[in-house]
């Protein structure tokens, strides 16, 4: 359809039908679903009538091609004008083939693989009937207590933005209309959802507009610049107003300043939640504020369908606001080709062929290995094929390695650690004990683990968090491993045998009791369907670890939030003239994180030459280049992630000590050297000033190049204007 035909369709619609398009309901409400429209519990109390379901414009949570086709068929017959449903779902890090959680993927620093992973997720979702995914989540995160850090790309605005672009490209492709293997992306959560006070989900966010523009908004903008079709509102407040009813944020910034004309959807229940937030007295006022702010789709509450018609009749809401919202929804349906082909790429037969194919699983294995980060290795890795290994821990034979937001994945078909190790060594070399549960343990379990370990050459511990310990509403005040697992580690260290710890978790942890007690630590995160196979590849050296942290691991939860791109303060602890006491410091712990942004070990080693600049200055017209020579000084081939940081020495407002501005992956054989060159332009030196204007200042800067944010070589330069 062209715009004129869509406008004609809009004119045919009654006000009730228009408002219905703004309603998103879960699958059970629809008679074509596997629930056949039979709802119970809280959903039954929503007062949803058959007419509302027939008029509704979208559905979430449908699973599988057969159900998607049936829901759409029944709906098309029931809807007076035959307007198809948009079928949406949370496809975060895989559909059936589950990839590592997004925080892990970001630790690969591999944008191409990241894009390929969500391309596969889109392909599996699309053939199963999904049109829109609620991804990517690009919320900047600095507090590991917050459970949803696992869904992010970490603490750096630049890296977050690069992954936002890659994920949108992977989901949507180059031609969303004609490429039926792709799905529309919905960037979330707009805005600043990743900065809740206390690391507690749904909690207050309170920051200056300058800080939000400088650090938190760039990744959303990057996703939109890449063509992302939808935006989801955040649950939190922004400058004292919940995002879902925040006209300044949604109309003035998103619509007017950024010229976004796509669909804006609330998060689950967020429109009605303006009442407990305290900015709406009732559902009618919540509906008024949401439509005024520009929210097109209300997810799973009934403020719009119950009150917009009366608000229009009372002339409190202009019907043109509703028309604008409906037209945006119709345009997305048209872009997806749903008016001509309401089932789009849905295909029951192809679904069986495509989902969990060998090609998809192989990429999941590759990405899981690249996403893991080697945090410590005192010469005990890689393992030898003839070593007798005691595999101990609650994740030794546990399929709970998919992580949160893997609702279509199967823990039963996930490759467990034990299964992965048996691919590399004879089962006779491998003995297993659980040792403890994830957060419980018995004396008998502990005794069995010690007994098994006594006969081994080396102990491999499989430790971590239950998947419910992170993700949405998975916030933790104490971020060490559960006490039962720390007791297991302590008991096994008494045997004085080499110990390798493999960690499964969705957040940076306080690793005391593990990293100081064991000889090697491999951070596997929640690695997905092929996790056990990827871990075996790494432990036995068939793949050399190359991942680097994208979120700092705190020394203590008392430091949180702790991040590399912080400010210096007026009394920095490491200043040449610093006093012993009256400086910015803790009395009982270091200022620095235990493991910083950009850190990650390899089975080989790399050296860096001094930094060379093409010029000592740059101008607005003339950039400069930064070059280092990187050498593999070890005995095996490896990949190094070379990182470029910049510091603005003196600016109008305080600037970070370092900011990531570029990175490159370099593959090197033993003894091989390569020159790595970055270009620095004036544009990379811009920042938001006190008046919120975005531009650069002339003056002094420092370029840093190295293997981690705390391990760099430096060279000064100037910006001349």
CA atoms within 13 A on the CB side of 430: 21
Separation between Cα atoms, residue 33 and residue 48, nearest integer Å: 16
What amino acid positions are annotated as catalytic residues?
Answer: 267
Is residue 30 a contact partner of residue 52, using CB atoms and an 8 Å limit?
no
Report the DSSP beta bridge partners of residue 298.
23
Preceding peptide of 561 cis, ω within 30°: yes
Alpha helices by DSSP H, listed for 173-217, are: 209-211
Of 19, 43, 34, 98, the residue nearest 70 (C-alpha): 34
Phi, psi (deg, nearest 5) at residue 713: -105, 145
Q: How far is CA 490 from CA 514, 553, 556, in A?
A: 9, 21, 19
Phi, psi (deg, nearest 5) at residue 328: -65, -40
Is residue 369 a contact partner of residue 540, using CB atoms and an 8 Å limit?
no
Looking at beta carbons, which pairs linking 68-73 to residues 24 or more positions away fall under 8 Å? 68/128, 68/129, 68/130, 68/343, 68/346, 69/129, 69/343, 69/346, 69/348, 70/32, 70/33, 71/27, 71/30, 71/32, 71/33, 72/32, 72/129, 72/342, 72/343, 73/32
Is residue 660 a contact partner of residue 218, using CB atoms and an 8 Å limit?
no
Alpha helices by DSSP H, listed for 38-151, are: 50-55, 65-78, 102-106, 111-127
- Joined together, the tokens standing for residue 422 give 């048996």
Report the DSSP beta bridge partners of residue 89.
133
318: left (phi over 0), alpha (psi -120 to 50) or beta: beta
Report the DSSP beta bridge partners of residue 433.
392
Query: What is the DSSP annotation of 503-563?
Result: EE-SS----TTTTTTSSEEEE--S--TTHHHHHHHHHTTSS------SSPBPSSGGG-S--
Separation between Cα atoms, residue 206 and residue 290, nearest integer Å: 21
Q: How far is CA 396 from CA 59, 433, 636, in A?
A: 39, 8, 29
Secondary structure of residue 26 in the 3-state scheme:
strand
Is residue 238 a contact partner of residue 232, using CB atoms and an 8 Å limit?
no
Of 709, 501, 510, 516, the residue nearest 599 (C-alpha): 709
- Joined together, the tokens standing for residue 97 give 């083939």
- Joined together, the tokens standing for residue 117 give 């992973």
- Joined together, the tokens standing for residue 544 give 């050399």
């Amino acid at each position: 359809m062209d715009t004129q035909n869509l406008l004609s369709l809009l004119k045919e619609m009654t006000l009730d039908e228009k408002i219905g398009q703004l309603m998103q309901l879960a699958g059970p409400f629809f008679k074509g679903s596997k629930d056949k429209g039979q709802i119970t519990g809280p959903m039954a109390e929503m007062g949803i009538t058959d007419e509302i379901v027939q008029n509704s414009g979208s559905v979430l949570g449908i699973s599988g091609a057969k159900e998607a086709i049936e829901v759409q068929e029944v709906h098309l017959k029931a809807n007076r004008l035959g307007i198809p449903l948009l079928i949406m779902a949370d496809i975060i890090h895989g559909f059936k083939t589950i990839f590592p959680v997004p925080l892990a993927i970001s630790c690969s620093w591999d944008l191409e693989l990241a894009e390929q992973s969500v391309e596969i997720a889109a392909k599996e979702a699309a053939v199963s009937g999904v049109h829109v995914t609620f991804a990517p989540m690009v919320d900047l995160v600095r507090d590991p207590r917050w459970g949803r850090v696992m869904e992010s790309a970490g603490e750096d605005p630049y890296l977050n933005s690069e992954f936002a672009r890659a994920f949108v490209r992977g989901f949507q492709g180059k031609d969303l209309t004609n490429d039926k293997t792709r799905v529309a992306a919905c960037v979330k959560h707009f805005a600043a959802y990743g900065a809740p006070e206390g690391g507690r989900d749904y909690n207050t966010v309170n920051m200056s507009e300058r800080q939000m523009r400088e650090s938190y908004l760039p990744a959303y903008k990057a996703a939109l610049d890449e063509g992302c079709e939808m935006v989801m509102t955040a649950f939190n407040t922004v400058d004292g107003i919940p995002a879902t009813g925040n006209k300044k944020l949604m109309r003035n910034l998103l619509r007017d300043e950024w010229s976004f004309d796509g669909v804006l959807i609330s998060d689950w229940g967020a429109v009605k939640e303006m009442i407990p937030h305290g900015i709406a007295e009732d559902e009618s006022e919540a509906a008024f504020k949401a439509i005024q702010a520009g929210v097109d789709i209300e997810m799973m509450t009934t403020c719009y369908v119950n009150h917009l018609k009366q608000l229009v009749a009372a002339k409190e809401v202009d019907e043109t606001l509703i028309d604008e919202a409906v037209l945006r929804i119709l345009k997305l349906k048209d872009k997806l080709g749903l008016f001509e082909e309401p089932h789009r790429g849905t295909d029951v037969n192809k679904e069986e062929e495509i989902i969990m194919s060998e090609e998809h699983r192989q990429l999941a294995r590759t990405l899981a290995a690249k996403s893991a980060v080697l945090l410590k290795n005192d010469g005990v890795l890689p393992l030898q094929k003839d070593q007798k290994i005691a595999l101990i821990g609650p994740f030794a034979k546990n399929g709970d390695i998919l992580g949160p937001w893997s609702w279509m994945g199967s823990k039963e078909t996930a490759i467990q650690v034990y299964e992965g190790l048996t691919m590399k060594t004879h089962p006779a070399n491998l003995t297993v004990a659980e040792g403890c549960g994830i957060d419980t343990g018995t004396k008998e379990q502990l005794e069995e683990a010690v007994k098994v370990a006594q006969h081994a050459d080396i102990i491999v511990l499989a430790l971590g968090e239950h998947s419910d310990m992170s993700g949405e509403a998975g916030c933790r005040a104490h971020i060490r491993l559960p006490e039962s697992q720390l007791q297991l580690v302590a008991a096994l260290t008494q045997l004085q045998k080499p110990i390798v710890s493999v960690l499964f978790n969705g957040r940076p942890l306080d690793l005391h009791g593990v990293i100081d007690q064991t000889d090697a630590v491999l951070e596997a995160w929640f690695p997905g369907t092929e996790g056990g196979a990827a871990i075996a590849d790494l432990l036995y050296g068939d793949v050399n670890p190359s991942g680097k942290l994208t979120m700092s691991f705190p020394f203590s939860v008392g430091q949180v939030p702790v991040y590399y791109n912080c400010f210096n303060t007026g009394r920095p602890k490491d200043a040449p003239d610093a006093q012993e006491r009256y400086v910015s410091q803790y009395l009982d712990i270091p200022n620095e994180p235990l493991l910083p942004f950009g850190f990650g070990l390899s089975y080989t080693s790399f050296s860096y030459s001094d930094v060379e600049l093409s010029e000592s200055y740059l101008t607005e017209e003339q950039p400069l280049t930064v070059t280092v020579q990187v050498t593999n000084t070890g005995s095996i081939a490896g990949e190094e992630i070379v990182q470029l940081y910049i510091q603005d020495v003196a600016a109008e407002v305080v600037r970070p000590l370092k900011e990531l501005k570029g990175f490159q992956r370099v593959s090197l054989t033993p003894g091989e050297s390569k020159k790595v060159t970055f270009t620095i332009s004036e544009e990379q030196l811009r920042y938001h000033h006190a008046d919120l204007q975005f531009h650069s200042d002339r003056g002094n800067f420092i370029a840093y190049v190295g293997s981690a944010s705390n391990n760099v070589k430096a060279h000064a330069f100037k910006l001349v204007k």
